Structure 1
């Protein structure tokens, strides 16, 4: 393979305006990250534990950007989708494991996000959620099947920007305790009320298998090559570090300051959170809060829907845009299957946190896959820099610890609760796959070293 350096790209936009006009792929990931599931997890963290999990919120933006950087690097160096790269260099079995892992995580998320959109739509309009589920599924199918990637990207940029601004403004109308907030930068996992689950949910919003895998496809949809390396870095910096970071930080500070009461921590939902902001933000608090949640959910719904079709199309060697009728059909199936989420029972806030934690369980495997390939000289023209490898190992270690903590909390109820049983079973299977992949890499590295 030709040795092509990515450190000195031949294409270099001359000003910030040129960069801004070409941003996109990481913003689609940011639309998922700055969605209702992250919002629910961050609000729950603040309401349940005050400022104690501030360190996780800050870390989530940094680690989220790191994960996107690794995925971007793999996609630009190989100039193809991650599933095709895995199949060519690791084998078909590992490609299928990655596809199944991602589709399960994103499919479950799509159901709960649709429930969120439908329920919030019902709160705002008074129309039954199941009707809104059908309406939003039709709107999404027509939009994505007709316009494909660009419709999702434009929606992500507009709505995420609006949601971020809305939640930053909210910080200025609540009293933030600076001393207490500073103490929350010391890493601790609070006991009680599912501290590990909430921490896993917060981190899962930024470091998620869906975000890691989709990056290679959105860059291909944009036509990016190795020449766009610097543009890719700028894309990640503006979307994950700045937009997502400000969104999650502002949301958390508001929750820790206003919602940290025993009553709200025990039974937090969207209406309760909005009403608690009323005395500080005025009578319109509930409406603005729900509109922010609504916008976050809508942007995530569209961005998340494209992920399973991308991976399935790559594995089955279909075209990965709506010009291929098979890809379009897969997109429509995912959209309408997700529409069933409107019929789920119960409150969506706890379901959103659970969805993020579930996705985090499958994330270490995806990170190990990316790190393996970035250090395989037969896969990429230049292997990973040491600093990138260190960042990846830290990322894998932290996500693994939080995922193990979450699964450990689920084990005692696995025999009586079907959801816990599914989580534990999935964790066991994907954990074995991760260990197997690590062993495979060690063997390959030893073989190359001996030669």
Structure 2
């Protein structure tokens, strides 16, 4: 196993923690069904990306360029690199803040130190370093949060009632639910999967193992991660008067101390630290993978250009520790960018999986699941963009988010239109014949 654990490491990060903690703290056990559904949809997204990677045996950017054209390939690169780069800075800020909270050493010192460690590890060992670290860290993080359940009181009956689908508190509940779902279905997770499988050397002969890899890492480990954090927050931190943006993941860890003892606090803080480390490592490889594939470089450290790109992304991420403001509100911007870009890459994957790019087209069931994923992604992205617009367009950052959403949204609609035209044209030619 391996490639899906890298995606799982990125998914099981601070952004997912923040949305799941908020869901449990603000609404109790009511949104447990959303947390479970997020793991299912996340696994489905990775399964579709896995099929594309195995059947084409190429990186997603080169496959798009071959079958859709260079313009679409560039749109994909810009979309994914912008989302991953912004996430890189905010995740580093989160990791530095958590490290500072645990040790008392200045967060900026931690940011520089983590960037150097990351660059040295990736330049020296490349993908295998990322995969090994992801397996170890994700396993440890899941165990940390499962262990925290042993020292936190949980109401089994109330938790079971949370498996009944419902959205509490109107718009606020819908936004939190959308954030939980968005953490599992993200553009970086989908785009990176074809490259990690190539780095692992998997082909169609490994289809069964690759499917098991997706199931265990995304459905199993990521699902356990999300459910354990949610149950801790719902069981101890639930306060019906709390606003959806008042509790951060770091504050949740610190709050657990006086409520249920220092063991729960340190287990939770350790889990948050591990989640930030694993996410940062996995996210670092995404921009170099995409850029190298588009420019015709090899996507392993034997190519000096690719290695230099890895080191550059790792070192530049240190700047995140110097970004002002609170870590949690910055996650909104990261989710906005990532989620806005996700529908486009889902359409790309579904388009290619139903074209001559693959020897075996998607089944009806896989297509239905893919369309459901697309609907979730569009709904989630729309919620965040509407929130940005509602805050006012005077802020340059908000204007940039809105402009980016218009660019990617237009590209998504155009690609859907192209597929429908080709599909109906093909059907018409077959009828005439």
TM-score, length basis structure 1: 0.91
In the other structure, the counterpart of 2:303 is 324
In the other structure, the counterpart of 2:115 is 137
Which consecutive segments of 4 or more residues in structure 1 shift more than 6 A? none
CA distance in 2 between counterparts of 1:278 and 1:343 reads 28
CA distance in 1 between counterparts of 2:135 and 2:382 reads 34
In the other structure, the counterpart of 1:394 is 372
Q: Following TM superposition, by how much is the alpha carbon of 1:203 offset from its aligned partner in structure 2, in angstroms?
A: 1.5
2:125 is the alignment partner of 1:147: yes
Q: Following TM superposition, by how much is the alpha carbon of 1:305 offset from its aligned partner in structure 2, in angstroms?
A: 0.1
User: Among residues 239, 248, 253, which one is paired with 1:269 in the alignment?
Assistant: 248
Say which SS state the counterpart of residue 262 (structure 2) adopts.
coil
Q: Following TM superposition, by how much is the alpha carbon of 1:417 offset from its aligned partner in structure 2, in angstroms?
A: 3.1
In the other structure, the counterpart of 2:30 is 52
User: Among residues 285, 289, 295, which one is paired with 2:264 in the alignment?
Assistant: 285
In the other structure, the counterpart of 1:165 is 143
The 3 A distance-change label for structure 1 pair 266 and 81 is closer
Q: Following TM superposition, by how much is the alpha carbon of 1:342 offset from its aligned partner in structure 2, in angstroms?
A: 0.3
CA distance in 2 between counterparts of 1:118 and 1:45 reads 25
Q: Following TM superposition, by how much is the alpha carbon of 1:280 offset from its aligned partner in structure 2, in angstroms?
A: 5.0
Kindly indicate whether the alpha-carbon contact (under 8 Å) linking 1:201 and 1:354 is maintained by their aligned counterparts in 2.
no
In the other structure, the counterpart of 1:315 is 294
CA distance in 2 between counterparts of 1:265 and 1:390 reads 32
In the other structure, the counterpart of 1:113 is 91
Q: Following TM superposition, by how much is the alpha carbon of 1:74 offset from its aligned partner in structure 2, in angstroms?
A: 0.5
Q: Following TM superposition, by how much is the alpha carbon of 1:347 offset from its aligned partner in structure 2, in angstroms?
A: 1.9
Deviations 1:343-402 (A, max 9, x none): 1112212323542343122111111100000000x2111111111111101111122122
In the other structure, the counterpart of 1:16 is none
The 3 A distance-change label for structure 1 pair 81 and 269 is same
2:206 is the alignment partner of 1:240: no
User: Among residues 360, 369, 372, which one is paired with 2:339 in the alignment?
Assistant: 360
CA distance in 1 between counterparts of 2:30 and 2:382 reads 20
CA distance in 1 between counterparts of 2:250 and 2:58 reads 44
Q: Following TM superposition, by how much is the alpha carbon of 1:216 offset from its aligned partner in structure 2, in angstroms?
A: 0.1
The 3 A distance-change label for structure 1 pair 444 and 56 is same
Deviations 1:103-136 (A, max 9, x none): 1111111111100111111112211111111111
User: Among residues 413, 422, 425, which one is paired with 1:444 in the alignment?
Assistant: 422
Q: Following TM superposition, by how much is the alpha carbon of 1:339 offset from its aligned partner in structure 2, in angstroms?
A: 1.3
In the other structure, the counterpart of 1:335 is 314
Kindly indicate whether the alpha-carbon contact (under 8 Å) linking 2:297 and 2:306 is maintained by their aligned counterparts in 1.
yes
CA distance in 1 between counterparts of 2:18 and 2:161 reads 22
CA distance in 2 between counterparts of 1:249 and 1:276 reads 19
User: Among residues 93, 100, 107, which one is paired with 1:122 in the alignment?
Assistant: 100
In the other structure, the counterpart of 2:349 is 370
In the other structure, the counterpart of 2:384 is 406
Q: Following TM superposition, by how much is the alpha carbon of 1:271 offset from its aligned partner in structure 2, in angstroms?
A: 4.4
CA distance in 1 between counterparts of 2:245 and 2:57 reads 48
CA distance in 1 between counterparts of 2:259 and 2:169 reads 30
Kindly indicate whether the alpha-carbon contact (under 8 Å) linking 1:275 and 1:285 is maintained by their aligned counterparts in 2.
no
Kindly indicate whether the alpha-carbon contact (under 8 Å) linking 2:182 and 2:380 is maintained by their aligned counterparts in 1.
no
Q: Following TM superposition, by how much is the alpha carbon of 1:194 offset from its aligned partner in structure 2, in angstroms?
A: 4.4
2:17 is the alignment partner of 1:39: yes
Deviations 1:390-422 (A, max 9, x none): 110111112212221222222222413333322
How many residues align? The count is 428
CA distance in 2 between counterparts of 1:184 and 1:360 reads 26
User: Among residues 376, 380, 384, which one is paired with 2:358 in the alignment?
Assistant: 380
CA distance in 1 between counterparts of 2:92 and 2:52 reads 31
The 5 A counterparts of 1:405-424 are 405-424=383-402
In the other structure, the counterpart of 1:83 is 61
Say which SS state the counterpart of residue 284 (structure 1) adopts.
helix
Using the TM superposition, name which of 436-445 and 265-274 deviates more. 265-274
In the other structure, the counterpart of 1:4 is none
User: Among residues 94, 104, 108, which one is paired with 2:82 in the alignment?
Assistant: 104
Deviations 1:192-239 (A, max 9, x none): 784444333212221000000100000000111110000000100110
The 3 A distance-change label for structure 1 pair 186 and 353 is farther
Say which SS state the counterpart of residue 154 (structure 2) adopts.
coil
In the other structure, the counterpart of 1:6 is none
Deviations 1:167-213 (A, max 9, x none): 11222322323443344334444447844443332122210000001
In the other structure, the counterpart of 1:347 is 326
CA distance in 2 between counterparts of 1:430 and 1:437 reads 11
Aligned CA-pair RMSD = 1.8
Q: Which runs of 5+ in 1 are unaligned?
A: 1-22
Using the TM superposition, name which of 336-345 and 244-253 deviates more. 336-345
The 3 A distance-change label for structure 1 pair 409 and 270 is closer
Using the TM superposition, name which of 365-374 and 426-435 deviates more. 426-435
Using the TM superposition, name which of 295-304 and 48-57 deviates more. 48-57
